[in-house]
Amino acid sequence: MATVVGIAEMHMSQDPGDTLVTYSLGSCLGVTVYDPILKVGGMIHCMLPLSKIDTTKATENPSMFIDTGVIALFNAIFALGAKKERLIVKVAGGASPLDAGARFKIGERNYTVLRKVLWKNNLLLAGKSIGGTKPRTLRLELETGRTSVQSNGETVEL
């Protein structure tokens, strides 16, 4: 079974037969967390770097922003019993598909904020597919923890 994670959404799963998937990652970031012992995982699809631009929206939907959404993702996975020392964190997206002049750099800013959140929480990235101009599809298979990214008809494992 596949569970689709939409834009500004987050999903967790404890079902080993489940696959979490998010589509059309452009400047947005898709972040996965996985505990290989419990075989529990989560995925979030964040749009913007910092919640301070709209605190009301951040309160209503923390998944919209990297700084609030990734913390919510960690809290949700810990609530399922995952342990910080076992977490495998991977990310895809952060591209500039519509910003050819790189004026806004939203994808780059999203990735920078993610790295700061991870650093503050003493977590490292185990895999990434970041930047460029092409959209990506991100998948996390709960049975194995396999995380893959598809772009331009090509699939790579993170």
The tally of CA atoms less than 13 A away on the side-chain side of residue 17 is: 1
28 is catalytic: yes
CA distances from 134 to 5, 95, 96, 149 (A): 19, 7, 8, 12
Q: 3-state secondary structure string, the chain? A: CEEECCCCCEEEECCCCCEEEEEEECCCEEEEEEECCCCEEEEEEECECCHHHCHHHHHHCHHHEHHHHHHHHHHHHHHCCCCHHHCEEEEEECCCCCCCCCCCCHHHHHHHHHHHHHHHCCCCEEEEEECCCCCEEEEEECCCCCEEEEECCEEEEC
Which residue in the list 28, 40, 82, 142 is annotated as catalytic?
28
Q: Which residues are catalytic?
A: 28
